[in-house]
Amino acid sequence: MKRKLTLFLMMLALLLVVAGCGTSAESNEDNNKSNSTEAKASDSETDAKDSENRVISTTVALTEITDKLELDLVGVPTTYKDLPERYEGLPEVGLAMTPDMEMIRSLKPTDVLTVTTLTSYVEETFTNGNTPATYIDLASVDGMYESILALGEKYDRMAQAEEIVNDFDEKMLEIEEKVKGQEPPTVLILFGVPGSYLVATEDSYVGDLVRRAGGVNAVQDKGVEYISSNTENLQQTNPDVILRMAHGMPEEVVEMFDKEFKENDIWKHFKAVQDDRVYDLEETRFGSTANLAAPEALDELVEMLYPDLAS
């Protein structure tokens, strides 16, 4: 059992990444010319700075963020998912956990963007190769938006960064107003990969989204994103809602969940199963790490947690 859990955690770590603003007419004309000259100078300055930046992104979520920041890249992650059109044709630098250092060095980057959850896997490689790297916190919604502001400041994209953050803040106000006065449901979150699953805590990204949508996590463990648990213990929590996350090979994982819920009789005793409130979360919106689909994910969660609000 211990060996299986160790293998699962290694697979989970990989999936976490293969899973990232009254003078005369003559005077006005002079002022306009002056302003135009200043604007052109400012644009030239920005273009010059951009040409000096050779940035590589190593995850899909980070690549979507740099696209929203209108930041050019010289390298992108290897992935089966679609990347923003802006980066079409750019060299691929491998998977986030096992980057192609030969390719990365050949691109002469001034900055390689990676995520904090991979620090223990890539830090030594980047350090030994004298490769400049920035570690972005995508473990939570707050971490992501703080990181977006930090990138905006670093690369002179504050207007774009603030727009992204402000849009999310508006969404949160809308959600809070919508669920005000509602009875908070208890929610069990299952994180599945081919062959097994773990339970997601409030410290996980989706756990964070559930909290923001007004839900209460059925497990109260802190300081870790995922835990192992048996169905007997989970049944004691008697959740109102069960959310199933499928990663790695989503279709295969959903089939695994369906088989487990059908063949393991204990699931029929769960209130969520009896009330038909078991939901499979779509992978691109409910990733293992934070991403820019958070506002859409929150809207979906509210419909799952409070079906009366949708009617």
The pTM of this model reads 0.80
Is 298 a residue whose pLDDT tops 70? yes
Binned at pLDDT 50, 70 and 90, residue 81 comes out as confident
Residue pair 78/92 in contact (Cβ under 8 Å)? The answer is: yes
How far apart are the C-alpha atoms of 33 and 252, rounded to whole Å? 63
Q: How far apart are CA 200 and CA 198, in angstroms?
A: 7
Torsional sign, CA 161, 70, 113, 46: negative
Query: Average pLDDT over the chain, rounded to whole?
Result: 86
Over residues 35-78, the pLDDT tens digits come to 554 544 444 454 445 568 999 999 999 999 999 999 999 999 99
**What is the 3-class SS of 110-163, one letter each residue?**
CEEEEEHHHHHHHHHHHHHCCCCEEEECCCCHHHHHHHHHHHHHHCCCHHHHHH
CATH 3.30.750.24 is the classification of domain 48-181: no
Q: Which tops the pLDDT comparison, 264 or 287? A: 264
What CATH architecture applies to the domain 182-310? 3-Layer(aba) Sandwich (3.40)
The domains of the chain are located at 48-181, 182-310
- Predicted confidence band at 24 (pLDDT cuts at 50, 70, 90)? very low
Average pLDDT, stretch 179-192? 95
Length of the chain: 311
Please return the burial class of 284, using the count of CB atoms within 10 Å of its CB with bins 0-12, 13-18 and 19+. Answer: middle
CA atoms within 13 A on the CB side of 63: 27
pLDDT at 6 over 80: no
48-181 and 182-310, same CATH topology? yes
- Residues 88-132 have pLDDT tens digits of 999 999 999 999 999 999 999 999 999 998 999 999 999 999 999
Residue linked to tokens 């809602």: 241
d(CA 50, CA 301): 39
Confidence of residue 26 (pLDDT cuts 50, 70, 90): very low
- pLDDT value at position 194? 85
CA distance 73 to 86: 9
